[in-house]
Structure 1
Amino acid sequence: MRKMAMNREEIVAAAIQRLNRVPTSSMAELAEAVGVSRATLHRHFSTREELLTELANRSLDSWEQAIEAAGVAAATASGDAEQIRRTLEDLLSRHLVYAEEHGFALSEHVMVVDPHLERRIDELEEREIELFAAGQRAGVIRADLPARWVSSVVYGLLVAARQSILRGDVARRDLPRIVIETLYRGIS
């Protein structure tokens, strides 16, 4: 197989696709899947950890963009039940795209062993927890559950949604409705 010349952005995009399918891919397997030699991949990323850290940062950038685009800060500050509901549903829909595009990051160990990444995760999660707490105060979300638990449930729903898509258990077009209904109503 002839290896083609790729720039860093193309390598990153192809590596994300491969890691979303096979999260345990080695650098050799990533190079093969990307279509570059191992030497080329190593010129861009000296180690697998370096590559994963780059991908994790991009993943967190996407998460932050979803929070901003959904208007989390404004909805949280408003206290308005309808605005919070719309924002929450918009955020969940954006997170489903994020989970599909950066699904490997939902369970990648580098996310919790790198102190910089861990701080970013905590900061982003805190912004969402504030929205969930505002939703509880406004009667959108059950108030008898800790807001941090709600955050964990949302995370679990994203992991479940990603796995369901990978296995073909759920149609992509049905995911927003399924995730939102599961969050609001549970499974009973």
Structure 2
Amino acid sequence: MTAQLGEDSGPRARTRKAILEAAMTVLAESPAAPLNEIATAAGVGRSTLHRHFPERTDLIHALARHVHALSTTAIEEAEPLSGPPIAALRRVVECQLDLGPIFLYVYNEPTVMADPELRAHLDTGDEAIGEVLTRMSCTATPPGWARRVFWALIQAGAEAARADGTPKHQIVDAIIDSLTEGAINPNQG
């Protein structure tokens, strides 16, 4: 246990975290950015980056796991099983949107999607969201449908923020409305 704590809090762990945080920012803005841009943003040399991540794929896979850990922690902190379901969903939507465009990168990155073990790992940690959505559902849907819709809306929200500059509060409202009322009002037009 002590060795684990030392590994998580020592200089090597701090450097690794700085690289991952820099990769989140750089790759969300420019998915094809070279590793030297990530190293510069992290405040380390390229050789240091390569000591931690010998290949670009190693960095991308570690980044996917890092983003997943941040997402899972944010879900837990949002306490989706507490309080009214709509309020719980709003908290979860807000915290996931804080991760922003890195979702778009990680969940669309070919090297991530090509790794079945990593994909399986990324498909965990959001079980509480599924429970809330299932509690709210009044129609029969295919298994996992509401959860897939939730994550598709989060990705659409991140894209709207990035591409259009839509304010976060409008995106949150649109996602909640889409989940609870549907995206199209049949009474209009």
**Same structural fold, with TM-score higher than 0.5 when normalized by the shorter chain:** yes
Contact 2:101 2:159 in 1 (8 A): no
Which residue among 30, 33, 36 is the counterpart of 1:22? 30
Which residue among 75, 79, 86 is the counterpart of 1:71? 79
For structure 1, the residue ranges without an aligned partner over 5 or more in a row are 1-5, 76-81, 137-141
Question: Higher helix share goes to which structure?
Answer: 1
Distance 2:168 2:89 in 1: 19
For structure 2, the residue ranges without an aligned partner over 5 or more in a row are 1-13
State the match for 2:56 in structure 1: 48
The count of residues paired between Structure 1 and Structure 2 equals 171
Q: Which has the higher contact order (CA 8 A, sep 6+)?
A: 1
State the match for 1:105 in structure 2: 106
Distance 2:63 2:156 in 1: 21
The answer to whether 1:9 aligns with 2:14 is no
Contact 2:39 2:49 in 1 (8 A): yes
The one-letter amino acid of 1:130's match is E
**CA displacement, residues 109-146 of structure 1 (integer Å, 9 cap, x when unaligned):** 3443334432322332444323221222xxxxx42333
TM-score after normalising by structure 1: 0.75
TM-score after normalising by structure 2: 0.75
State the match for 2:87 in structure 1: 86
State the match for 1:60 in structure 2: 68
**CA displacement, residues 9-46 of structure 1 (integer Å, 9 cap, x when unaligned):** 32222111001111232324434555544323212210
Distance 1:109 1:126 in 2: 25
State the match for 1:78 in structure 2: none
Moved more, 43-52 or 164-173: 164-173
- Cα shift at 1:166: 1.4
Moved more, 145-154 or 18-27: 145-154
Distance 1:147 1:165 in 2: 29
